[in-house]
Structure 1
Amino acid sequence: MSVWDDIVGQQPVIDQLRALAEGDQADLAQSWLICGPPGSGRSHMAKAFAAALESPDHGLGDEPTKTTQQVLNGTHPDVRIVSTDKVTIGIEQVRELAAACEQMPSTAPWRIIIIEDVDRMLERTTNVLLKQIEEPSPRTIWLLCAPSAQDVLPTIRSRTRILNLGVPSNEDVQQFLERDEKVDARTAARAARLAEGHIGVAHMYAHNSQVLADRDELIVGVLGLQRASQAVMLADSLNASAKAQAEEEVETQAEKDEQEFRRMNGLGPEERIPADLRGAYNALAKKADLKRRVTRLTRDVLDRALNSIASIYRDVSVVQNDAEQSVGLVNLENRSAIIELSVRLDREGAIERMDAVATARRRLAGNGNPLLVFEALFCALMV
């Protein structure tokens, strides 16, 4: 099974990176910026490229090598993966990487550092990174991931080789979901359509009926907005749901982290933590870190909600421009209400509501109060 098999809808980029990994790596660029919209698989592409560079079989064997498994699982000693479930990537993380990359790789051809969501870095943190990618250490490769090149400082993007990923088609995402025998074709098709090319969201819709039900409830609520009181209630419901989803995900991840900690240290499920491991164990469940994780994940849920809301007015515009046969509707289950709304709204009104969604997104990004942001948005969407 190839390391590229789980990359969805990005064949041109796969062909390019595969050729580089299998060819002469003497002149390989050492700083890369992998760009793509949320859900396009940019971090998966970075890991697959890293595995292809490090593994003796370039990740193409019938069975994955130990090296390939370690890279994809994030446990290879020469491949560091920086991700964050906080709002930003801290400067200390990058300084630690800068020190580590001065060392030559221990077992593999390259020391590779993958930074997911490099756009989450503050400018002072990015300046630390800049010094490293300007003059990379020998045998070190930096793989940076961001939604677009415009989301990182010009000084960064000018010193990296840029790869742009596209939005996977619904058909590609559906086929990917159908590889899981637990997902039937109908569920896969609906999840792919509603996710609009976001692989992670499609996977969530296909496997989590509650998240899908929350989306359905949101769409119906927005389509039925007529009074300010409805707007206030819908905003409150959405924020409560987002926080609950985030808390549940953080709790689930915390349990997995504890289980992995116990496994790595040879401890049973109920075994007492030895004194010499207590500090490391307590660090897994620091209240401040857990709170930041919930904040970050709540924002992700709300951002997904904004995408769902925007899809309503995308569908309205499709109907108004008689383009349903060519591009289809996202919210097909709500077709009757979409058509009705397309009559009540003129084209300018649909565009104004898309602008209102964009304004809400900017306010959230600027740390606006989520409840107030959505109250204002829903009031602006009333017809």
Structure 2
Amino acid sequence: MDSAERSGAVGHSVWFQVVGQTEAVAVLRAAAEAGKSIVDESGSGAGMSHAWLFTGPPGSGRSVAARAFAAALQCASGTGCGECPGCRTTMAGTHADVRLVVPEGLSISVAEMRALVQTSARRPTGGRWQVVIIEDADRLTEGAANALLKAVEEPPERTVFLLCAPSDHPDDVPITIRSRCRPIALRTPAPAAIAEVLRARDGLDEATARWAASVCGGHVGKARRLATDEAARERRAAVLRIPLHLRRLSDVFDCADDLVKTAEADATEVSGTRDEAEKEALKTAMGYGGTGKGAAAATRGSAAAIKELERRQKSRATRTQRDALDLALVDLAGFYRDVLVTATAAGATLNHPDHATEIAKAAAAWTPESTLRRLEAVLACREAIELNVKPRIAVEAMLTALHYG
């Protein structure tokens, strides 16, 4: 975050949410101003594009940057002031001309994308632009990507597509789409920048903000969860106890059970209440359980819709469970990486500085070769789960490898 963004004048702008991305913010600000000149017919609009691809490591704020850019495009002044109705409604997710696509399941379907493309072709109803933000664009199915490609190739005059994809898998976005997007590459924010935004935005004390920023691996959302959620801190502590507590083979199965059940519990907590509310709302809309003429037909007709909803909810729960488990595996990989750093006296910053004592103990007990094998086992587990291997099988195989070294 630069000095201008820290000042009171800009502190409430939409760009304040984009942590540690000075270069990217400068490009996006210039583009938003160029976009205003197009709408106002006061300039050529040089620097503005109709399709953008935001890439960056997990936690770098891809979707946050995309939403801030969308707000700046809708801003009355074209600066992303954060105060006008266009900025406020966009950042709150209620702007009529800004659509956010968040894949809740394992992929974005062709039907969903076709409907979105049709909607995006309309002229803005109240804003300056029709903006479509697609989080995790790497999850587009082939059919969905083809549907999007047609819109990106010949975009409506006042429509902007903002795609987000992780930097370790940008190739999952088809080259035909990538080649038509202007790239915005984000980087891992520095701990100091993360700590500052936790203090300024979330009101955290300096010690807590600095601790969370030092152990989050550059992930702003994770830093906030660790700083504000005791359950998240307890889950992290439980994961980091694993490496030095695999003394017996039976410990492998106990730890695997804990990891998988915790991920399942997280998925249930996130989607359980929501699933039931969605189902009841659909039944009411379809006239399910009603009485009188036509009630029986309505009940029969709603069965297929309810079945489709349950399928989507199951896919969402699977995705949520995988994401929760992956967060634990990232912490575990960070521990073994820290052991290698300590054993080789590399001098690099630790991912888990608050566990330096345990890390030093492991570095003294294991050879660098065995530590590297353990790290590779964690990374292999992450890949296996992404390839649809049953989580319990993948986790048990990983922990067995960790036990034997």
TM-score interval (norm. to shorter): 0.7 to 0.9
Q: Which moved more, 1:149-158 or 1:167-176?
A: 149-158
Distance 2:319 2:160 in 1: 28
How high is the TM-score relative to the length of structure 2? 0.83
Distance 1:133 1:78 in 2: 17
Alignment of 1:371 onto 2:392: yes
Match of 1:5 in 2: 16
Q: How does 1:36-115 map to 2 (within 5 A)?
A: 36-61=56-81, 64-115=83-134
Quick one: structure 1 residues 142 and 330, their matched pair in 2 at CA, closer, same or farther if it must change by over 3 Å? Answer: same
- 1:178 is paired with a residue whose SS is helix
- CA deviation after TM superposition for structure 1 residue 81, in Å: 1.1
- 1:143 is paired with a residue whose SS is strand
- CA deviation after TM superposition for structure 1 residue 240, in Å: 0.4
Cα-Cα RMSD: 2.7
Quick one: structure 1 residues 43 and 252, their matched pair in 2 at CA, closer, same or farther if it must change by over 3 Å? Answer: farther
Distance 2:211 2:332 in 1: 17
The correspondence for 2:361, drawn from 328, 340, 345, is 340
The correspondence for 2:147, drawn from 128, 131, 135, is 128
- 1:246 is paired with a residue whose SS is helix
Count of aligned pairs: 364
Distance 2:277 2:31 in 1: 36
- CA deviation after TM superposition for structure 1 residue 252, in Å: 5.8
Distance 2:123 2:202 in 1: 43
Distance 1:181 1:68 in 2: 20
Deviation string for 1:45-82 (max 9, x for gaps)?
Answer: 11110111111122543x61111122112222221111
Report if aligned partners of 1:360, 1:373 keep a CA contact under 8 Å in 2.
Answer: yes
Deviation string for 1:224-248 (max 9, x for gaps)?
Answer: 2132211111011111011111211
- CA deviation after TM superposition for structure 1 residue 178, in Å: 1.6
Alignment of 1:297 onto 2:320: yes
Q: Aligned residues: percent identity?
A: 36
The correspondence for 1:241, drawn from 262, 270, 275, is 262
Match of 1:162 in 2: 183
Quick one: structure 1 residues 181 and 90, their matched pair in 2 at CA, closer, same or farther if it must change by over 3 Å? Answer: closer
More relative contact order, 1 or 2 (CA 8 Å, 6+ apart): 1
The correspondence for 2:271, drawn from 231, 250, 254, is 250
Runs of 5+ consecutive residues of structure 1 not aligned to the other structure: 262-274
Match of 2:213 in 1: 192
Runs of 5+ consecutive residues of structure 2 not aligned to the other structure: 1-11, 39-44, 282-294
Distance 2:58 2:331 in 1: 14
- 2:254 is paired with a residue whose SS is helix
Distance 2:277 2:86 in 1: 23
- 2:243 is paired with a residue whose SS is helix
Distance 2:228 2:315 in 1: 26
Match of 2:51 in 1: 31
Match of 1:319 in 2: 342
Letter in 1 for 2:381: A
Distance 1:176 1:344 in 2: 39
Runs of 4+, deviation exceeding 4 Å: 252-258
Deviation string for 1:146-165 (max 9, x for gaps)?
Answer: 00232312222111111100
Alignment of 1:362 onto 2:383: yes
Distance 2:130 2:202 in 1: 37
Letter in 1 for 2:73: L
